[in-house]
Amino acid sequence: MEQPHNAIAHRLIEQPEIRAVGFKRMIRGKMKERQRIAAAFWKELEDGGRLDALQSLGDGPILGVSTNFVNDGYDFYVCMETEEAAPEGMETLTIPGGLFAAFDCESASHDAVRARWAEIYDKWFFSSGYGHLGTAEVELYAKLDPNEPCELRAPVKRLEPKAPSRRGSNKRDRGVLLMLVCGLLFLFLGSAVSTASYVPIMFGLVGLLVGAGVNGWLKKRAEEKEREKENGSGAGE
């Protein structure tokens, strides 16, 4: 059943283990370099007639599989589900089964697929209550035609809700303390700068604003690190 979340419709499905055969390419580098290598790999397979050879192994969809994630990349397979032995030049891949979040993509073009993955990572994972399992992402192409839709599947795990602190958020307490410290420091600075009664008050208010700004930045950085930890090291191609 399709479930909308943050305006991104998805389906939670139990995918069985899949045995596939196909072509492998190691994808390494920064994000733009990974995208360039993946797009070039697809073109290389198409131009060399190897996609036709792959499709002759079965009648299912062509799969684009990202797996074996490391800090600077992942392994990418263009493959097809089959029980046949891998022909020369191809490799066998086992895609672990489990819970997947499935998303429709309106186009099978490289740009559309990349944009859809970016949306999934930037919006859906951020507040869906699910984290990336870190096994294998799967792209399913019924037809390798940019005018045709495709489907993207991410392996997920349900995140345990964090129990609220009895005294409230420790981060909030630290934020209040930081604002007070900055306010007091600027207040003393204002007293040293001028004997006029309004100057220390003005400096104190500026200190509170500085403390609030620093606290907001620290909070944002902590949320980003927590998000990366929960989502694992998925490709997000």
Pick 216 or 144 by higher pLDDT.
Answer: 144
Place 51 in a pLDDT band, splitting at 50, 70 and 90.
Answer: very high
Summarised one tens digit per residue, pLDDT across range 60-76 is: 999 999 999 999 999 99
User: How far apart, in whole angstroms, are the C-alpha atoms of residue 30 and residue 13?
Assistant: 31
Q: How close are the terminal C-alpha atoms of the chain, in Å?
A: 25
Residues 140 and 217 in one domain: no
The sign of the dihedral angle between the CA atoms of 110, 112, 118, 120 is negative
- Domain termination site, one of 140, 161, 182: 161
- pLDDT value at 199 more than 90: no
Place 234 in a pLDDT band, splitting at 50, 70 and 90.
Answer: low
Pick 192 or 36 by higher pLDDT.
Answer: 36
Indicate the DSSP class of residue 199.
H
Strand partners, 14: 99
Place 168 in a pLDDT band, splitting at 50, 70 and 90.
Answer: very low
Domain carrying residue 197: 170-230
Average pLDDT over residues 192-210: 69
Q: CATH code at 67?
A: 3.20.80.10
Instruction: Write out the two tokens for 183.
Output: 């306010």
Residue pointed to by tokens 């981060």: 171
Instruction: Write out the two tokens for 159.
Output: 């995140």
Q: Using a pLDDT cut of 90, give the percent of the chain over it.
A: 60
Residue 237 lies in a domain: no
- pLDDT value at 38 more than 50: yes
- Domain termination site, one of 161, 185, 212: 161
Q: Domain tally for the chain?
A: 2
pTM exceeds 0.75 = no
Residue 236 lies in a domain: no
- pLDDT value at 163 more than 80: no
Residues 204 and 122 in one domain: no
Indicate the DSSP class of residue 128.
S
- Cβ neighbours for 34, distance < 8 A, ≥ 6 positions apart: 27, 28, 73, 235, 237
Pick 154 or 225 by higher pLDDT.
Answer: 154
Helices marked H in the chain: 31-47, 50-55, 110-119, 125-127, 170-193, 198-231
- Domain termination site, one of 161, 184, 211: 161
- Cβ neighbours for 82, distance < 8 A, ≥ 6 positions apart: 19, 20, 21, 57, 58, 60
Residues 65 and 146 in one domain: yes
Average pLDDT over residues 71-89: 95
